[in-house]
Amino acid sequence: MESEKKQRCQTALYEEEVLARSKGFANSQGYGGMEEDNLNHNEDDSQDPQALEILRQLRDKQLLIVNRNSRNGLVGGPFDLDCKRVLPVGALSLTSPVSGEERRQAYLIRRQWIRLTLQITTDNPAPVQRAQKILNQFDGFFDAETIAQLPDEAFALLVGVLPHTITKVRNTADGYSLGG
């Protein structure tokens, strides 16, 4: 019981830290990480042109799916309207769904990712365990170089841990090892 209280406190403190730094990443839970007043400050040179274009499409309420050849998933539409920043991962290729079946499949995959993230957070009460699990999940989809380029803050937001927890797990010799 005490560890649950500490965990909630740690997550709440981290959310405040993220808001204070005016930094956020798009993800399946819709964490924006920025207050409305800071909206115009996020479209600076720190985001690459691809990320800015995706952000524009999200704000225009476009429904997009990750290209079939790149493992399908859904972004946009009514789900990501509050998105403040985008972090493309790997060789991202987005398309618009043409058929109702494409939309249905994309919704199902997005729902699976949401359930997986929820399962990681509920089944692993210790922050280090959650960090390990989310890194392992990404390891199944992306190569070591791609994962190494992703900021600790992005992984931390996905599973409600502090960025230094992700760093710790990445740097632990017997913890997270890419490709194994």
> How many CB atoms neighbour CB 156 within 10 A?
24
Question: Who's near 14: CB < 8 A, 6+ residues apart?
Answer: 156, 160, 161, 162, 163
CA 97 from centre of chain: 22
Task: Give domain status of residue 107, yes or no.
Answer: yes
| Helix, strand or coil, per DSSP, at residue 64 | strand
Per-residue pLDDT of the chain in tens (180 residues, 90 and over written 9): 555 544 444 444 444 444 333 344 443 333 333 333 333 444 445 678 989 999 999 899 888 888 766 655 567 777 888 888 888 888 888 888 889 998 898 888 889 889 999 999 999 999 999 999 999 999 988 888 989 999 999 999 999 999 999 999 999 844 444 444
Q: What is the C-alpha to C-alpha distance for residues 134 and 124, in angstroms, rounded to an integer?
A: 11
Which is it for strands 94-95 and 63-66: parallel, antiparallel or unpaired? antiparallel
Task: Give domain status of residue 111, yes or no.
Answer: yes
Task: Give domain status of residue 109, yes or no.
Answer: yes
What domain range includes position 18?
2-123
Quote the pLDDT of residue 162: 97
Quote the pLDDT of residue 180: 42
Task: Give domain status of residue 70, yes or no.
Answer: yes
Amino acid, single-letter form, for residue 131: A
Task: Give domain status of residue 137, yes or no.
Answer: no
Counted domains in the chain: 1
Question: Who's near 161: CB < 8 A, 6+ residues apart?
Answer: 10, 11, 14, 127, 130, 131, 155
Task: Give domain status of residue 129, yes or no.
Answer: no
Task: Give domain status of residue 31, yes or no.
Answer: yes
Query: Bridge partners of 63?
Result: 76
